[in-house]
């Protein structure tokens, strides 16, 4: 089997391949992917530094053309790349193709942004002096991405970094190197100069640590666990570099008595269980007022009975496998913790067997949970959700905000008064009304508050806040 190599200074390199295993069929090796050494990371950073002066001053049409070409190829290959994503991560094929299309749209958007780079010209408060305010590229950017969105998240970090004239050292999650390798290959063939984009695959303990230890990186953009995010922050403070963190959530979905029951159930099921619950925007706390509680639980339970857990590539599959054995154990451990804490297991919670060996877990619903239980405080990152009964809207809002996280927050209601109040008072970076807490557009800012995020927002024009630095220039007329 061909080894997919790392890209360093425009050259494909690496001989020791690590198997990429299909979680829907653990007998299938999706591909072999090289593992970088700490020295490889050092070389990649040096290459990116050497390439920065020329790329940072490259023409906007050159950047536009490369990004547009990459987006066009991703879109043209959406079925192929979507299948690769489904096979390596376990997301259902329709979800995987949808994510691939989103990646193409992100490149398309930033291709346009490359032609819209602008600044400001202002008068000084002093006579005969002009003031220019411009944005310049930050420098060499370390990009560290997670396994749950293996093509969209790399796209929304790499595309703006290139758009604004930065060079990149990119480390994808070692569980899902396939889509990342494909993006780098596409961009490399689209015409990026050598050293502008460098790919270093491998373990975080080796590759990631070498990136954190480097004083050369001007910034690190990271999506992943809270623990690793704190390490990124500490190392960045030590080296005086800019950092951007997206670290997870324990997102609430509030359901009020006046909610449309069908809308509420569909939003909750999508939020909590689609993509196998492996989304930082997934809603694992379903906060439901007393008047609708029993009807909501009954309707959601019936909905869960219709969801088919199976191979991600099979037609009719609603929920694919958990990504790997380690994450599956985390999920089942939390299910046991929920039982021990006194929550009622209303549905699911069992491992299931299918035609192919994989990490299959039923969607799991707890009821009679409290907001103080571990299953209500800690991010599980699996198809596990808890229903928390509350008295009224005021208690629902307080419970929703009672979390160390603040990424996404949702409400199901037909009350304009409550929807408006919730949008203004939910302590989250994103608020959804009568919609799933997961699922965002590619052209608007993404990010949260509290323990979920740190630094400037990602996506859309707000990406410039991280990937550029502001310069103010004065000229005597």
Q: Which strand ranges, in their side-by-side order, compose the sheet holding 120-123?
A: 120-123, 129-137, 468-476
Q: Distances in Å between the alpha carbon of 437 and those of 263, 381, 430, 433, 472? A: 13, 14, 8, 9, 39
* Residue in the block written with tokens 């005086």: 240
Please enumerate in sequence order all residues whose Cβ is within 8 A of that of 298, keeping only pairs 6 or more positions apart, or say none: none
Query: Which residue in 88, 108, 246, 458 is the catalytic one?
Result: 246
Residue 95 bears catalytic tag: no
Q: Distances in Å between the alpha carbon of 347 and those of 165, 375, 386? A: 51, 15, 11
Angle ∠(411,415,419) on CA atoms, nearest 5: 45
Q: Distances in Å between the alpha carbon of 58 and those of 46, 99, 108? A: 19, 30, 19
Q: Distances in Å between the alpha carbon of 380 and those of 23, 100, 273, 315, 343? A: 18, 25, 12, 27, 15
Residue 336 bears catalytic tag: no
Question: β-strands 453-454, 242-246: how paired?
Answer: antiparallel
Task: Please compute, for residue 333, the number of CA atoms within 13 A of its CA located in the half-sphere on the CB side.
Answer: 11
Residue 178 CB neighbour total at 10 angstroms: 23
Query: Which residue in 108, 280, 379, 458 is the catalytic one?
Result: 280
* C-beta separation of 22 from 324 below 8 A: no
Q: Which residues are catalytic?
A: 246, 280
């Amino acid at each position: 089997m061909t080894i997919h190599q790392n890209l360093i200074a425009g050259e494909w390199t690496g001989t020791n391949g690590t198997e990429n295993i299909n979680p829907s069929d653990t007998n299938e090796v999706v591909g072999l992917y090289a593992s970088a050494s700490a020295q490889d990371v050092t070389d990649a950073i040096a290459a990116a530094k050497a390439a920065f002066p020329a790329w940072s001053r490259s023409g906007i049409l050159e950047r536009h053309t490369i990004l547009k070409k990459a987006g066009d190829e991703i879109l043209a290959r959406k079925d192929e790349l979507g299948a690769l994503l489904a096979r390596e991560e376990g997301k259902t094929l329709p979800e995987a193709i949808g994510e691939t299309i989103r990646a193409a749209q992100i490149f398309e958007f930033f291709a346009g942004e490359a032609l819209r780079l602008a600044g400001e010209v202002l008068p000084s408060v002093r006579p005969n002096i002009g003031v220019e305010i411009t944005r310049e590229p930050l420098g060499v950017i370390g990009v560290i991405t997670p396994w749950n969105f293996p093509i969209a998240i790399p796209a929304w970090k790499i595309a703006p970094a290139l758009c604004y004239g930065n060079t990149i050292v990119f480390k994808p999650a070692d569980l899902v190197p396939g889509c990342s390798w494909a993006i780098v290959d596409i961009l490399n063939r689209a015409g990026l100069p050598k050293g502008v984009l460098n790919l270093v695959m491998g373990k975080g303990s080796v590759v990631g640590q070498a990136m954190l230890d480097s004083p050369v990186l001007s910034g690190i953009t990271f999506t992943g666990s809270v623990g690793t995010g704190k390490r990124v922050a500490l190392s960045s403070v030590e080296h005086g570099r800019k950092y951007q963190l997206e670290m997870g959530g324990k997102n609430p979905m509030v359901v009020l008595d006046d909610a449309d029951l069908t809308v509420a159930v569909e939003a909750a099921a999508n939020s909590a269980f689609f993509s196998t619950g492996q989304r930082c925007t997934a809603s694992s706390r379903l906060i439901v007022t007393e008047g609708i509680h029993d009807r909501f639980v009954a309707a959601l339970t019936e909905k869960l009975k219709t969801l088919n857990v199976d191979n991600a590539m099979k037609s009719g599959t609603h929920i694919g496998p958990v990504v790997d054995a380690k994450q599956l154990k985390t999920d089942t451990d939390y299910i046991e913790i929920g039982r021990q804490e006194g929550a009622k297991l209303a549905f699911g919670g069992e491992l299931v067997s299918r035609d192919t060996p994989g990490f299959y877990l039923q969607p799991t619903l707890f009821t009679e949970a409290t907001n103080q239980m571990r299953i209500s405080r800690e991010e599980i990152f699996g198809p596990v959700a808890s229903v928390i009964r509350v008295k009224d809207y005021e208690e629902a809002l307080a419970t929703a905000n009672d979390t160390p996280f603040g990424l996404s927050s949702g409400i199901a209601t037909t009350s304009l008064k409550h929807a408006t109040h919730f949008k203004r008072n939910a302590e989250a970076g994103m608020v959804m009304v009568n919609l799933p807490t997961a699922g965002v557009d590619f052209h608007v800012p993404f990010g949260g508050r509290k323990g979920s995020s740190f630094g400037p927002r990602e996506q859309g024009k707000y990406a410039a806040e991280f990937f550029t630095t502001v310069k103010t220039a004065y000229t005597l007329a």
